[in-house]
Amino acid sequence: MNWKDEWKPLVYILSLFLILFFLPVGLDRFENAVMEALSLAKWYAQEHVILCLVPAFFIAGAISVFISEASVMKYLGPNANKVIAYGVSSVSGSILAVCSCTVLPLFAGIYRMGAGLGPATAFLYSGPAINVLAIILSAKVLGFQLGVARAVGAVMFSVVIGLLMHFIYRSEEKEKAKAMMHMPEPEVERPLWQNAVYFFMMVAILVFANWGKTEETSGAWFFLYHYKWFITSAFAALLGLILVMWFNMQWWKILLIALPSAVTAWFFHDGIRILIPFSVAIVSFSYFISTSKGEMEDWFTQSWGFAKQILPLLLFGVLTAGLMLGRPGSEGLIPSQWVSSSVGGNSMGANLFASVAGAFMYFATLTEIPIIKGLMDNGMGNGPALALLLAGPALSLPNMLVIRSVMGTKKTIVYVSLVVIMSTISGLLYGALFQNIK
């Protein structure tokens, strides 16, 4: 037997054995942490997988099929106009309003299609970080100065991180640029404006299906939340019309997708039960495009490929994050008082701890605000609060696992390190300037 080939399986088996052997079953903290992990995973499955990730997978698959590699390289590649490439990437979050996990299929789609590392990572950071509603609520709940600092910091971060990633891996980017010079002009199946409208409809479905609840009782935010499912359905109907008119999908397939969803929505239209008609639409839509030929089949194949790669890593990461840190307001294996006691004042250690903790914790969209409010009420400094706001929404343990599978271990470590370092420095500077403001 050649032990050089067998040592890895041996290490895995021994590691699993030792974990099971010393499993602290019976300890209250451990058993509570297990329940927290399962509860967080259940919440994530109910709130994010169907409404957030599944539409994002279809958008990512569409990027791979309906946008040519040459087109991506032209606008986001190494030779693209830097103002356009970084400008589009850095403000994308204000449109998408997604969390650190939902942005991953979209990032994977544009990166694999040839987008430059700089614009791709700028998009990866800005997607969850530059959320207009989150920034407005930050200013309202945490203070005007902190809200403004978050907005300015997030936009600057996305551009600076993208430029730094491009600079660090500039030799690879030069190779991409050379390859781009030899690429033929893309064959255009349909006008650019038609593709733009098609993608706009899918993004609108993603955004409005996940439109957050507001405490307002009137005004635009209240209207959009109150009628979110009517708006989502309208965009879905327009998407179906577009698929018939411009993508040669048979009208009867769209009808067979819409009717069951509409019927189930009549009976299940409130609370978590709304997932039933949404799921019926997704399943029937997946069936009809997967059994079609040409572009429709390719669309499903690419979307399913992203789902197979990303979903298992995300769910494993959510379980791990819940086990270690628990849910908001609860505890995992790491006591919450360790966290709160480590982020007081404005020292380097407090800001660094806030950045690292934020990088590994999972924040759903907007949940970081009440968490940070609670920490500030218990002594968290202004600097660490900003550091957590800048690192937390853009990164998480599940997010890191998927990024690694897309662009490799080294690039992931560099990207995460840049976010943590810049968040720490920003926290130190902000804490020094506004240390007495609450």
Residue 256 contacts residue 288 (beta carbons within 8 Å): yes
If you write DSSP's letter for every residue of 35-79 in order, what string do you get? Answer: HHHHHHHHHHIIIIIIIIIHHHHHHHHHHHHHS-HHHHHHHHSTT
Calpha distance 276→150 (Å, rounded): 37
Kindly give, in sequence order, each residue whose CB lies less than 8 Å from that of residue 22, ignoring residues fewer than 6 positions away: none
pLDDT at 104 over 70: yes
Mean local confidence (pLDDT), 364-369: 68
Mean local confidence (pLDDT), 53-77: 77
pLDDT at 32 over 70: yes
pLDDT score at 422: 92
Calpha distance 197→180 (Å, rounded): 27
- How many other CB atoms are there within 10 angstroms of residue 237's CB atom? 14
pLDDT score at 100: 67
3-state helix, strand, coil in the chain (%, to 5): 75, 0, 20
Write the single-letter amino acid at 424.
Answer: T
Residues forming a β-bridge with 306:
none
Per-residue pLDDT of 234-243, as tens digits, reads 999 999 999 9
Mean local confidence (pLDDT), 333-359: 81
Q: What percent of the chain has pLDDT over 90?
A: 22
pLDDT at 424 over 80: yes
For residue 369 the two structure tokens come to: 């605000």
pLDDT at 188 over 60: no
pLDDT score at 62: 87
pLDDT at 259 over 90: yes
Residue 330 contacts residue 36 (beta carbons within 8 Å): yes
Query: What's the residue count for the chain?
Result: 438
pLDDT band at 47 (very low <50, low <70, confident <90, very high): confident
CA-closest candidate to residue 403, choices 302, 310, 328, 274: 310
Calpha distance 309→304 (Å, rounded): 9
pTM score: 0.74
Kindly give, in sequence order, each residue whose CB lies less than 8 Å from that of residue 45, ignoring residues fewer than 6 positions away: 315
Cα distance between the two ends of the chain:
67
pLDDT greater at residue 416 or residue 71? 416
| DSSP assigned state of 113 | T
pLDDT greater at residue 358 or residue 132? 358
